[in-house]
């Protein structure tokens, strides 16, 4: 049997750019057989076999998993990286806009996971790595539904982890902080606009831009994902970046009032005086 046939198999969603592209590259350099996906068909590159995939579509997900199984015979590791960001105040965001976000960030993960679990259950072996976000720990202004989708993903990941553990399958969550990717540039924005929120909006945009300016190399996240894939007993959560490490600690250790004060001060938010009654 050739070394190629013996290579472990990984499927990385959202592998055309950012964290997904870096992750696919890291696995390929480590000798894995790598399948990457993107919304639009892209040519294969440097040992990465690219497949089209829309995680919002049951048909597309099933077809992608079937193609990997036909070519490789199994999937050892699934990296659920495909995701989108949405910016806008909570009240400004329509339910359709919120649903669209969840279709990718939560239900897209569910579709992909359900597509690969049957063959992992038969083999009593497999590993699933979901890419979450430090946003799961704090609902930052202007990112209400993005944070909600990542919090939901964290809860789903933890429950699934316990359900499949007796079957020899492990599930983990990698939670990056701010990294230099195009996720914000490609983010959707709420169509509605309420002028009362303009000061908060400006603060949110300014803070997000500053975080991205200081954002780290996506390969740091890719290296952590590889660490999860190689670990003998993977943990549930793997933070990546300073913010991802200290935010959970602050949430646990600080009183809520103090945490709120620090976050609002960091954003430059001030309470506005109510108009006087006439």
Q: Mind spelling out the 3-state secondary structure of the chain?
A: CCHHHHCCEEEECCCCCHHHHHHHHHHHHCCCEEEEEECCCCCCECCEEEEECCCCCHHHHHHHHHHHHHHHCCCCEEEECCCCCEEECCCCCCHHHHHHHHHHHCHHHHHHHHHHHHHHHHHCCEEEEEECCHHHCCCCCCEHHHHHHHHHHHHHHHHHHHHHHHHCEEEEEEEECCECCCCCCCCEECCCCCHHHHHHHHHHHHHHHHHHHCCECHHHHHHHHHHHHHCCCCCCEEEECHHHHHHHHHHHHCCHHHHHHHHHHHHCCCCCCCCCCC
pLDDT given at position 2: 40
Q: Which domains does the chain have, with CATH numbers?
A: 3-267 (3.40.50.720)
What are 209-244's pLDDT values in tens digits? 777 777 678 899 999 999 999 999 999 999 998 888
What are 56-84's pLDDT values in tens digits? 999 999 999 999 999 999 999 999 999 99
pLDDT given at position 220: 93
Rounded percentage of the chain residues whose pLDDT exceeds 90: 71
Tell me if residue 146 is catalytic.
yes
Query: Residue 91: pLDDT band by 50, 70, 90 thresholds?
Result: very high
pTM, to two decimals: 0.91
Of these residues, 146, 197, 238, 267, which one is catalytic? 146
pLDDT given at position 71: 97
């Amino acid at each position: 049997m050739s070394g190629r046939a013996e290579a472990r198999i990984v499927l990385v969603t959202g592998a055309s750019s950012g964290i997904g592209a870096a992750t696919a590259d890291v696995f390929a350099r480590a000798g894995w057989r790598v399948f990457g996906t993107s919304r639009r068909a892209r040519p294969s590159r440097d040992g990465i076999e690219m497949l089209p995939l829309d995680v919002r579509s049951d048909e597309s997900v099933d077809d992608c998993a079937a193609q990997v199984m036909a070519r490789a015979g199994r999937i050892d590791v699934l990296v659920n990286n495909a995701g989108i960001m949405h910016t806008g105040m909570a009240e400004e965001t329509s339910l359709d806009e919120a649903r669209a976000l969840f279709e990718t960030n939560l239900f897209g993960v569910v579709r992909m996971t359900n597509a690969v679990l049957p063959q992992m259950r038969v083999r009593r072996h497999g590993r699933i790595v979901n890419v979450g976000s430090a946003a799961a720990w704090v609902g930052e202004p202007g990112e209400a539904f993005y944070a909600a989708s990542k919090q939901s993903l964290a809860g789903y990941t933890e429950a699934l982890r316990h359900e499949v553990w007796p079957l020899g399958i492990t599930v983990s969550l990698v939670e990056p902080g701010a990294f230099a990717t195009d996720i914000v540039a490609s983010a959707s924005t709420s169509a509605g606009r309420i002028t009362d929120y303009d000061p908060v909006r400006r603060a949110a945009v300014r803070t997000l831009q500053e975080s991205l300016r200081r954002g780290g190399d996506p390969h740091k996240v890719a290296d952590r994902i590889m660490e999860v894939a190689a670990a003998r007993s993977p943990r549930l959560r793997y933070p990546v970046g300073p913010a991802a490490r200290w935010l959970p600690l602050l949430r646990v250790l600080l009183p809520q009032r103090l945490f709120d004060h620090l976050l609002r001060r960091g954003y430059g938010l001030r309470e506005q005086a109510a108009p006087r009654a006439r």
